[in-house]
Amino acid sequence: MNREVDEALAKLLVDTFLECVVAPGYSAAARDLLASKKNLRLVAARGSWQAPTDERAWSVRTIAGGALVQSVDHGMVDLAQAKVATQRAPTEAERADLAFAWRVAKHVKSNAIVFAKGGVTVAIGAGQMSRVDSVKICERKAGAALRGAAVASDAFFPFRDGVDVLAEAGASCVVQPGGSVRDPEVIAAADEHGLAMLFTAMRHFRH
C-alpha cells in the first residue's frame, strides 16, 4: 500500500489470502482486524513512496555472481496521444480502461498481459515465455469476467495469435507498443475480431 491502512481497507484485506502487508502505517482498528488473520505479517515502511525521477536513478537486480544495473523505467505515455492502429477507435470508456491497464502493465513482469474493466484489474498474466500463455493464465483466473475488458501488453505482439486469444477471451480493445515486423498481421487480426487497438511506441518489459 502507498498510504495508511484504515479500518475499511482492513475489512477487505481480511477476506483475502495474504502473507504480508507493507504500508506506511496502520490505524489501531486496522491492526486489530488484521491481527485476526493467522500468520499475517504487517510491515510499516515509512520511507518515501515517490519513485526517483532523475536520470541517475538505477534499478539493481542480483544475478549469480553479480548484479544487473539498469536505468529506472520512468516512461508513461498519455494514451490520448496514442496512435489508433485499427479501423475502430476505442470508446471513451474503453480508452480510460486501456490507460489504467497500461499503467498496471508497466509494473508487471514480462511477458505481461493485463485485463481491466471499469477501472479495476480483472486478471494479470505475468512472467511467461509467450503472451499467449499470459492470456491463458488470465482466462483460468477470471473466465467470463474477461468479457468486454480492455487489455494492455507491455511489449508488442510478435504474431497474430496473441490477438486471436485475446478476442477469444472476450477482450474489446488492446493497447501495446507496436513495432513488430508483423504489425500489419496483428492489426488485421484485431480488425477481423472488431477490436480497437492503440500503439504507444513505448515498451516497458519489466524483469
pTM of the model: 0.77
User: Residue 73 contacts by C-beta under 8 Å, 6 or more apart in sequence?
Assistant: 59, 106, 204, 206
CA distance 157 to 41: 39
Q: At what angle do helices 183-193 and 161-169 cross, to 10 degrees?
A: 20
Q: Which 3 state secondary structure label does DSSP give 205?
A: coil
Assess whether pLDDT exceeds 80 at residue 132. Answer: yes
Instruction: Supply φ then ψ for residue 13, to 5 degrees.
Output: -65, -35
Query: Vertex 135, ends 132 and 121: CA angle to 5°?
Result: 155
Mean pLDDT of 42-63: 76
Instruction: Supply φ then ψ for residue 62, to 5 degrees.
Output: -75, 145
Mean pLDDT of 31-50: 87
Assess whether pLDDT exceeds 80 at residue 157. Answer: yes
- Residue 53's pLDDT is what? 64
Residue 109's pLDDT band, with cuts at 50, 70 and 90, is confident
Domain boundaries, given as residue ranges, for the chain: 7-44, 79-199
Of 9-13, 60-64, 144-148, 193-197, which gets the smallest average pLDDT? 60-64
Assess whether pLDDT exceeds 90 at residue 55. Answer: no
Would you identify the CATH topology of the domain 79-199?
A: Cytidine Deaminase; domain 2 (3.40.140)
Assess whether pLDDT exceeds 90 at residue 66. Answer: yes
Residue 50's pLDDT band, with cuts at 50, 70 and 90, is low
pLDDT tens digits along 74-100: 777 787 888 999 999 999 999 999 999
- The identity of residue 118, as a single letter, is G
pLDDT tens digits along 162-191: 999 999 999 999 999 999 999 999 999 999
Residue 143's pLDDT band, with cuts at 50, 70 and 90, is very high
- Can you spell out the DSSP letters for 103-121? HHHTTSBSSPEEEEETTEE
Q: Which of 141, 71, 134 lies closest to 105, judged by CA? A: 134
User: Residue 180 contacts by C-beta under 8 Å, 6 or more apart in sequence?
Assistant: 156, 157, 158, 186
Residue 46's pLDDT band, with cuts at 50, 70 and 90, is confident
